Structure 1
Amino acid sequence: MEHYVGLDVSLKQTSICVVNQVGSVVREGVVDSEPEAIATFVRSKAPGAVRIGLETGPTATWLWTELKQLGLPVICIDARHAKAVLKMQINKSDRNDTAGIARIMQTGWFKEVRVKDLDSHSVRALLASRALLVKIKRDLENQIRGLLKNVGLVIGRAKFNVFTVRAEELIEDRPELMAVVRPLLKARQAIEQQTTISIVRFSSWHVMMRRSEAS
């Protein structure tokens, strides 16, 4: 049986949809946005894959290169062209986007984008570094929350600088807590700054690659 696969990629996870030769969905799933994880799913759930659709995006060049090296029939398609097709769907969701990309592969109605080779190891290292920073930041936040919760103090829902502000409010006039929590808050702030820097670097790389692909 022929299979056609759609990939809807984000930095963390990739939604995958497999359709048959008449466009009926036969398999769906979500995996980590890693070439090996995507390849494992496709080989298991879509052994008859004829075309695998991947939209242009921040990690498209890297994933395309890696999946090609793994022997998969991946095609990078123009995101704007695909978006125009997907807009015609009545129910808009990530799941439907993925099925839509799979059906674009099945019908052959797509605009293929030429992808240039890249140093995929450098990109992988950058993505892995960012993921590690995010994990460390989350672990620090959990440690801080746990320390405060042990003495009956709750930070609640808080993101970005709100987390630090809320924590500082709770430990105000509590020198014994300040001595423990403030170093963790400073470490969290440093990690957050490095995470922002890594995002800027990745964005700069993406712009550079798009310009290179357009040349």
Structure 2
Amino acid sequence: MQDAGFPVFCLETRHTQQLLSTRPNKTDRNDAHGIATMMRVGHFKPVHVKSRPSQFVRSSLIGRRQFMRAMLRIENTIRALLRTQGLKLGKIHRCQFSERVKELCNEEPMLLPAIEPRLAARDEIRTQMRKLNNALERAPRTHPICNLFQTIPGVGPLTALSFKATIDAPNRFKRSKLVPAHLELTPGVYAPGSISALR
């Protein structure tokens, strides 16, 4: 539609919902009419649509987060299964997790049918996540802004890449104080009885 010359906007959902909630009957037809009225009178809040490169980076970061959650869930299940038999892994580096689990399973071979499939799935997830990590860690090398972020102590390639993809276009923030509120790091609105973050 943009290529055809039509203006395209993405509306801020909470603002739109508040306006549509004033209508007596909620139907798809009434919602469409309400949105059309908002656009006609100009009473709407457009939101920023991230660039395609930032969307691709966000997709990879979300995939990495899902890998991490799945791996931790499997590890916690394995720990629980071992604990029921009095076997404790304790604090151990992730690289030595599989070897230590196999050592403990030698003491209780009956646990192997329950643990072996989970351990194999965990190791495969970790292998794929390592590949994704390597790709994400190489990506910031071509971005001068990410390289600048990494000069900050404690900021690595993943943090720099995630921050750049989240902000995308710095000029969409009128003031620097709006950035931490957008990231929900600090409250953006102080009102009687409530504190909320700006979007």
TM-score, normalised by the number of residues in structure 2: 0.46
More helix by share: 2
More strand by share: 1
Asked which structure has the greater CA Rg, the reply is 2
